[in-house]
Protein backbone atom coordinates (compact mmCIF):
# COMPACT_ATOMS: atom_id res chain seq x y z
CA UNK A 1 0.00 0.00 0.00
CA UNK A 2 1.43 3.38 -1.03
CA UNK A 3 1.26 6.34 1.33
CA UNK A 4 1.59 10.01 0.48
CA UNK A 5 4.54 11.37 2.47
CA UNK A 6 3.02 14.80 3.12
CA UNK A 7 -0.33 13.39 4.24
CA UNK A 8 1.40 10.76 6.39
CA UNK A 9 3.37 13.51 8.16
CA UNK A 10 0.10 15.26 9.00
CA UNK A 11 -1.41 11.98 10.17
CA UNK A 12 1.62 11.28 12.38
CA UNK A 13 1.38 14.77 13.88
CA UNK A 14 -2.30 14.21 14.74
CA UNK A 15 -1.48 10.73 16.03
CA UNK A 16 1.26 12.10 18.32
CA UNK A 17 -1.02 14.91 19.55
CA UNK A 18 -3.64 12.34 20.56
CA UNK A 19 -1.00 10.25 22.31
CA UNK A 20 0.27 13.28 24.24
CA UNK A 21 -3.29 14.26 25.14
CA UNK A 22 -3.94 10.79 26.59
CA UNK A 23 -0.69 10.97 28.56
CA UNK A 24 -1.67 14.37 29.97
CA UNK A 25 -5.12 13.06 30.92
CA UNK A 26 -3.53 10.09 32.71
CA UNK A 27 -1.17 12.37 34.61
CA UNK A 28 -4.08 14.57 35.63
CA UNK A 29 -5.95 11.47 36.79
CA UNK A 30 -2.99 10.39 38.92
CA UNK A 31 -2.64 13.78 40.58
CA UNK A 32 -6.32 13.87 41.45
CA UNK A 33 -6.25 10.40 43.00
CA UNK A 34 -2.95 10.96 44.82
CA UNK A 35 -4.47 14.04 46.43
CA UNK A 36 -7.45 12.02 47.60
CA UNK A 37 -5.43 8.99 48.72
CA UNK A 38 -1.65 9.62 49.21
CA UNK A 39 -1.05 5.90 49.74
CA UNK A 40 -1.72 5.36 46.02
CA UNK A 41 1.29 7.51 45.10
CA UNK A 42 3.52 5.48 47.43
CA UNK A 43 2.32 2.23 45.85
CA UNK A 44 2.82 3.54 42.30
CA UNK A 45 6.34 4.76 43.13
CA UNK A 46 7.28 1.38 44.58
CA UNK A 47 5.85 -0.51 41.59
CA UNK A 48 7.75 1.70 39.13
CA UNK A 49 11.00 0.85 40.90
CA UNK A 50 10.50 -2.91 40.61
CA UNK A 51 12.74 -3.42 37.59
CA UNK A 52 15.73 -1.67 39.14
CA UNK A 53 15.30 -3.77 42.30
CA UNK A 54 15.23 -6.97 40.22
CA UNK A 55 18.42 -5.92 38.43
CA UNK A 56 20.08 -5.16 41.75
CA UNK A 57 19.08 -8.58 43.14
CA UNK A 58 20.41 -10.36 40.06
CA UNK A 59 23.70 -8.44 40.20
CA UNK A 60 24.65 -9.63 43.71
CA UNK A 61 27.64 -11.91 43.39
CA UNK A 62 27.64 -15.31 44.97
CA UNK A 63 23.93 -15.28 45.75
CA UNK A 64 21.03 -17.04 44.09
CA UNK A 65 18.79 -14.16 42.85
CA UNK A 66 15.62 -16.29 42.54
CA UNK A 67 14.49 -16.03 46.19
CA UNK A 68 14.83 -12.24 46.08
CA UNK A 69 12.99 -12.05 42.75
CA UNK A 70 10.17 -14.24 44.10
CA UNK A 71 9.89 -12.01 47.17
CA UNK A 72 9.67 -8.93 44.92
CA UNK A 73 6.99 -10.62 42.83
CA UNK A 74 4.92 -11.41 45.91
CA UNK A 75 5.38 -7.87 47.18
CA UNK A 76 4.25 -6.44 43.83
CA UNK A 77 1.16 -8.63 43.75
CA UNK A 78 0.24 -7.49 47.24
CA UNK A 79 0.73 -3.84 46.28
CA UNK A 80 -1.40 -4.27 43.16
CA UNK A 81 -4.16 -5.81 45.24
CA UNK A 82 -3.95 -2.97 47.75
CA UNK A 83 -4.09 -0.40 44.93
CA UNK A 84 -7.14 -2.10 43.44
CA UNK A 85 -8.89 -2.09 46.81
CA UNK A 86 -8.14 1.60 47.41
CA UNK A 87 -9.43 2.53 43.94
CA UNK A 88 -12.59 0.51 44.48
CA UNK A 89 -13.18 2.24 47.80
CA UNK A 90 -12.88 5.59 46.00
CA UNK A 91 -15.48 4.47 43.47
CA UNK A 92 -13.16 3.77 40.51
CA UNK A 93 -12.37 0.60 38.52
CA UNK A 94 -9.49 -1.49 39.86
CA UNK A 95 -7.41 -0.78 36.72
CA UNK A 96 -8.10 2.98 36.68
CA UNK A 97 -4.41 3.85 37.13
CA UNK A 98 -3.07 1.36 34.60
CA UNK A 99 -1.61 3.18 31.61
CA UNK A 100 -3.14 1.05 28.86
CA UNK A 101 -2.41 1.86 25.20
CA UNK A 102 -5.35 3.05 23.13
CA UNK A 103 -4.35 0.50 20.48
CA UNK A 104 -3.46 -2.96 21.79
CA UNK A 105 -2.18 -4.00 18.37
CA UNK A 106 0.79 -1.63 18.25
CA UNK A 107 1.00 -0.22 21.78
CA UNK A 108 0.37 3.29 20.43
CA UNK A 109 3.49 3.26 18.23
CA UNK A 110 1.50 3.39 14.99
CA UNK A 111 3.30 0.37 13.56
CA UNK A 112 2.80 -3.36 13.95
CA UNK A 113 4.58 -6.39 12.49
CA UNK A 114 2.92 -5.84 9.11
CA UNK A 115 3.82 -2.16 8.85
CA UNK A 116 1.47 0.78 9.42
CA UNK A 117 -1.05 -0.16 12.11
CA UNK A 118 -4.80 0.12 11.66
CA UNK A 119 -4.98 2.97 14.19
CA UNK A 120 -2.51 5.14 12.24
CA UNK A 121 -4.24 4.25 8.95
CA UNK A 122 -7.42 5.76 10.40
CA UNK A 123 -5.60 9.04 11.04
CA UNK A 124 -4.16 8.88 7.52
CA UNK A 125 -7.63 8.33 6.04
CA UNK A 126 -9.03 11.37 7.86
CA UNK A 127 -6.18 13.62 6.71
CA UNK A 128 -6.53 12.33 3.16
CA UNK A 129 -10.26 13.02 3.13
CA UNK A 130 -9.54 16.60 4.17
CA UNK A 131 -7.06 16.90 1.30
CA UNK A 132 -9.54 15.45 -1.19
CA UNK A 133 -12.27 17.77 0.09
CA UNK A 134 -10.32 20.75 -1.21
CA UNK A 135 -10.97 19.58 -4.79
CA UNK A 136 -13.91 17.18 -4.62
CA UNK A 137 -17.44 17.76 -3.24
CA UNK A 138 -17.11 15.05 -0.61
CA UNK A 139 -19.66 16.57 1.74
CA UNK A 140 -22.68 14.97 0.04
CA UNK A 141 -20.79 12.39 -2.00
CA UNK A 142 -22.05 9.09 -0.63
CA UNK A 143 -23.44 6.12 -2.51
CA UNK A 144 -26.35 6.09 -0.07
CA UNK A 145 -27.50 9.57 -1.15
CA UNK A 146 -27.41 9.01 -4.91
CA UNK A 147 -30.65 10.12 -6.58
CA UNK A 148 -31.82 7.90 -9.44
CA UNK A 149 -35.07 9.88 -9.70
CA UNK A 150 -33.17 12.62 -11.53
CA UNK A 151 -32.60 10.32 -14.52
CA UNK A 152 -35.18 9.71 -17.25
CA UNK A 153 -36.69 6.21 -17.13
CA UNK A 154 -37.78 6.34 -20.79
CA UNK A 155 -35.55 4.49 -23.24
CA UNK A 156 -33.34 6.58 -25.51
CA UNK A 157 -33.48 4.98 -28.95
CA UNK A 158 -29.95 6.03 -29.89
CA UNK A 159 -28.58 4.12 -26.86
CA UNK A 160 -31.13 1.32 -26.56
CA UNK A 161 -31.41 1.97 -22.83
CA UNK A 162 -32.91 4.57 -20.53
CA UNK A 163 -30.61 7.04 -18.74
CA UNK A 164 -31.88 5.68 -15.43
CA UNK A 165 -31.18 2.02 -16.26
CA UNK A 166 -27.77 3.03 -17.60
CA UNK A 167 -26.98 4.95 -14.42
CA UNK A 168 -28.11 2.04 -12.23
CA UNK A 169 -25.59 -0.14 -14.03
CA UNK A 170 -22.81 2.47 -13.71
CA UNK A 171 -23.67 2.98 -10.06
CA UNK A 172 -23.36 -0.75 -9.30
CA UNK A 173 -19.99 -0.95 -11.06
CA UNK A 174 -18.63 2.09 -9.19
CA UNK A 175 -19.92 0.92 -5.81
CA UNK A 176 -18.43 -2.55 -6.30
CA UNK A 177 -15.15 -1.00 -7.46
CA UNK A 178 -14.97 1.12 -4.29
CA UNK A 179 -16.18 -1.45 -1.76
CA UNK A 180 -14.01 -4.26 -3.13
CA UNK A 181 -11.00 -2.09 -3.91
CA UNK A 182 -7.56 -3.63 -3.74
CA UNK A 183 -4.31 -2.48 -5.25
CA UNK A 184 -4.42 -3.26 -8.96
CA UNK A 185 -8.15 -3.84 -8.75
CA UNK A 186 -8.88 -2.44 -12.21
CA UNK A 187 -9.42 0.85 -14.01
CA UNK A 188 -12.50 2.84 -15.03
CA UNK A 189 -13.19 5.25 -17.89
CA UNK A 190 -16.22 7.47 -17.19
CA UNK A 191 -17.34 9.03 -20.46
CA UNK A 192 -20.26 11.36 -21.15
CA UNK A 193 -21.56 14.92 -21.14
CA UNK A 194 -21.41 17.40 -18.29
CA UNK A 195 -23.69 17.15 -15.28
CA UNK A 196 -24.43 13.44 -15.58
CA UNK A 197 -22.87 12.24 -12.30
CA UNK A 198 -19.29 11.36 -13.27
CA UNK A 199 -17.66 13.63 -10.67
CA UNK A 200 -20.20 12.66 -8.00
CA UNK A 201 -19.51 8.94 -8.42
CA UNK A 202 -15.77 9.63 -8.54
CA UNK A 203 -16.10 11.44 -5.22
CA UNK A 204 -18.09 8.52 -3.75
CA UNK A 205 -15.35 6.12 -4.82
CA UNK A 206 -12.64 8.41 -3.44
CA UNK A 207 -14.38 8.56 -0.06
CA UNK A 208 -14.84 4.79 0.32
CA UNK A 209 -11.35 3.86 -0.94
CA UNK A 210 -9.73 6.51 1.24
CA UNK A 211 -11.68 5.42 4.33
CA UNK A 212 -10.39 1.88 3.65
CA UNK A 213 -6.84 3.14 4.16
CA UNK A 214 -5.65 3.37 0.55
CA UNK A 215 -3.92 6.43 -0.88
CA UNK A 216 -6.07 8.41 -3.30
CA UNK A 217 -5.11 11.38 -5.46
CA UNK A 218 -7.71 13.43 -7.32
CA UNK A 219 -6.77 16.13 -9.80
CA UNK A 220 -7.89 17.64 -13.07
CA UNK A 221 -6.23 16.84 -16.38
CA UNK A 222 -5.13 20.47 -16.75
CA UNK A 223 -3.39 20.41 -13.37
CA UNK A 224 -1.77 16.98 -13.80
CA UNK A 225 -0.35 17.71 -17.24
CA UNK A 226 0.96 21.09 -16.04
CA UNK A 227 2.80 19.33 -13.21
CA UNK A 228 4.22 16.71 -15.56
CA UNK A 229 5.39 19.41 -17.99
CA UNK A 230 6.97 21.51 -15.24
CA UNK A 231 8.71 18.43 -13.85
CA UNK A 232 10.24 17.73 -17.24
CA UNK A 233 11.24 21.24 -18.31
CA UNK A 234 11.34 23.28 -15.06
CA UNK A 235 11.96 20.69 -12.32
CA UNK A 236 11.92 21.47 -8.60
CA UNK A 237 11.44 19.38 -5.47
CA UNK A 238 7.82 20.38 -4.87
CA UNK A 239 6.73 19.55 -8.42
CA UNK A 240 8.67 16.28 -8.37
CA UNK A 241 6.85 15.30 -5.17
CA UNK A 242 3.46 16.09 -6.75
CA UNK A 243 4.31 13.97 -9.79
CA UNK A 244 5.39 11.07 -7.56
CA UNK A 245 2.02 11.29 -5.78
CA UNK A 246 0.21 10.89 -9.10
CA UNK A 247 2.43 8.03 -10.19
CA UNK A 248 2.57 6.02 -6.96
CA UNK A 249 -0.84 6.44 -5.25
CA UNK A 250 -3.09 3.39 -4.97
CA UNK A 251 -5.87 5.18 -6.86
CA UNK A 252 -5.51 8.15 -9.21
CA UNK A 253 -8.65 9.98 -10.32
CA UNK A 254 -7.92 12.08 -13.41
CA UNK A 255 -10.89 14.36 -14.02
CA UNK A 256 -11.95 16.33 -17.10
CA UNK A 257 -9.64 14.72 -19.63
CA UNK A 258 -9.98 16.77 -22.82
CA UNK A 259 -10.27 20.21 -21.19
CA UNK A 260 -6.51 20.76 -21.42
CA UNK A 261 -4.69 22.03 -24.50
CA UNK A 262 -3.65 18.87 -26.31
CA UNK A 263 -0.02 18.92 -27.45
CA UNK A 264 2.46 16.25 -28.43
CA UNK A 265 3.79 16.41 -24.86
CA UNK A 266 0.32 15.83 -23.41
CA UNK A 267 -0.23 12.87 -25.73
CA UNK A 268 3.06 11.30 -24.65
CA UNK A 269 2.57 12.15 -20.97
CA UNK A 270 -0.92 10.61 -20.89
CA UNK A 271 0.32 7.37 -22.43
CA UNK A 272 3.28 7.15 -20.04
CA UNK A 273 1.07 7.88 -17.01
CA UNK A 274 -1.60 5.34 -18.00
CA UNK A 275 0.90 2.70 -19.07
CA UNK A 276 3.22 3.21 -16.09
CA UNK A 277 0.44 2.88 -13.54
CA UNK A 278 -0.95 -0.15 -15.36
CA UNK A 279 2.43 -1.92 -15.30
CA UNK A 280 2.85 -1.06 -11.61
CA UNK A 281 -0.58 -2.51 -10.81
CA UNK A 282 -2.08 0.79 -9.63
CA UNK A 283 -5.68 1.68 -10.38
CA UNK A 284 -6.79 4.76 -12.30
CA UNK A 285 -10.15 6.39 -12.97
CA UNK A 286 -10.38 8.76 -15.94
CA UNK A 287 -13.39 11.04 -16.35
CA UNK A 288 -14.00 12.79 -19.66
CA UNK A 289 -16.65 14.42 -21.84
CA UNK A 290 -15.02 12.79 -24.87
CA UNK A 291 -16.35 9.69 -26.59
CA UNK A 292 -13.81 6.86 -27.12
CA UNK A 293 -13.35 7.71 -30.81
CA UNK A 294 -12.64 11.33 -29.86
CA UNK A 295 -10.01 10.14 -27.36
CA UNK A 296 -8.34 8.17 -30.17
CA UNK A 297 -8.25 11.12 -32.57
CA UNK A 298 -6.97 13.51 -29.91
CA UNK A 299 -4.44 11.39 -28.00
CA UNK A 300 -3.53 8.69 -30.54
CA UNK A 301 -4.38 5.08 -31.15
CA UNK A 302 -1.86 3.82 -28.58
CA UNK A 303 -3.68 5.62 -25.75
CA UNK A 304 -7.10 4.49 -26.98
CA UNK A 305 -5.83 0.92 -27.32
CA UNK A 306 -4.68 0.94 -23.71
CA UNK A 307 -7.97 2.36 -22.46
CA UNK A 308 -10.18 0.06 -24.52
CA UNK A 309 -8.08 -2.98 -23.67
CA UNK A 310 -7.63 -2.47 -19.92
CA UNK A 311 -10.26 0.00 -18.68
CA UNK A 312 -13.91 -0.69 -18.04
CA UNK A 313 -15.86 1.87 -20.06
CA UNK A 314 -18.89 3.42 -18.35
CA UNK A 315 -20.89 5.66 -20.72
CA UNK A 316 -23.04 8.36 -19.07
CA UNK A 317 -26.18 9.50 -20.91
CA UNK A 318 -29.10 11.73 -20.10
CA UNK A 319 -29.94 15.33 -19.29
CA UNK A 320 -27.74 17.60 -17.17
CA UNK A 321 -28.97 16.74 -13.64
CA UNK A 322 -27.43 19.89 -12.19
CA UNK A 323 -29.78 21.91 -14.36
CA UNK A 324 -32.68 19.69 -13.29
CA UNK A 325 -31.83 20.29 -9.63
CA UNK A 326 -31.83 24.05 -10.18
CA UNK A 327 -35.16 23.92 -12.01
CA UNK A 328 -36.73 21.84 -9.23
CA UNK A 329 -35.35 24.14 -6.57
224 and 299 assigned to the same domain: yes
Instruction: Supply φ then ψ for residue 218, to 5 degrees.
Output: -115, 135
Residue 129 lies in a domain: no
For 25, the domain range is 5-104
Q: Find the CATH number of the domain harbouring 261.
A: 3.40.50.300
Mean pLDDT of the chain: 88
Find the mean pLDDT for residues 40-57. Answer: 81
Instruction: Point out the least confidently predicted range of 41-50, 277-286, 305-314, 320-329.
Output: 320-329
Give exposure, 89-115, as e/b (b: 16+ Cβ within 10 Å).
Answer: eeeeeeebbeeeeebeebebebeeeee
Residue 61: pLDDT above 70? no
Residue 115 lies in a domain: no
Per 3-state DSSP, what percentage of the chain is helix, strand, and coil (rounded to 5)?
Answer: 60, 10, 30
Residue 186 lies in a domain: yes
82 and 144 assigned to the same domain: no
- Sign (positive/negative) of CA torsion 173, 178, 179, 182? positive
pLDDT band at 311 (very low <50, low <70, confident <90, very high): very high
153 and 24 assigned to the same domain: no
209 and 239 Cβ atoms separated by less than 8 Å: no
Residue 52 lies in a domain: yes
Residue 119 lies in a domain: no
92 and 197 assigned to the same domain: no
Residue 122 lies in a domain: no
Q: Quote the Cα angle for 123-129-132, to 5°.
A: 145
What distance in Å separates the CA atoms of residue 197 and residue 204, rounded to the nearest whole number?
10
Could you give the number of structural domains in the chain?
Answer: 2
Residue 121 lies in a domain: no
Find the mean pLDDT for residues 60-76. Answer: 75
Residue 63: pLDDT above 70? no
270 and 197 assigned to the same domain: yes
256 and 216 assigned to the same domain: yes
Residue 116 lies in a domain: no
Q: How many CB atoms lie within 10 A of CB 183?
A: 14
56 and 150 assigned to the same domain: no
168 and 312 assigned to the same domain: yes
> 230 in helix, strand or coil?
helix
219 and 313 assigned to the same domain: yes
The last residue of a domain, from among 104, 125, 146 = 104
More confidently predicted of 47 and 173: 173
The share of the chain scoring above pLDDT 90, in percent, equals: 55
153 and 246 assigned to the same domain: yes
The last residue of a domain, from among 55, 85, 104 = 104
90 and 164 assigned to the same domain: no
The pLDDT score that the predictor gives to residue 319 is 83
23 and 99 assigned to the same domain: yes
Amino acid sequence: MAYDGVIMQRALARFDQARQRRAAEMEQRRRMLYARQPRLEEIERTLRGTMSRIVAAAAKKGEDPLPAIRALRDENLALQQERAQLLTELGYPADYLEDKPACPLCGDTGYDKKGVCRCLRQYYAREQLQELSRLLPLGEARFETFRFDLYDSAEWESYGISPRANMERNFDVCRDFACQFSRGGGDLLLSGGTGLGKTFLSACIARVVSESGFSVVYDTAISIFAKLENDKFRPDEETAAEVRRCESCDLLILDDLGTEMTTSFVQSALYQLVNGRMIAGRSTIISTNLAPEEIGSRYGRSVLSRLEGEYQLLPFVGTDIRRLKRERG
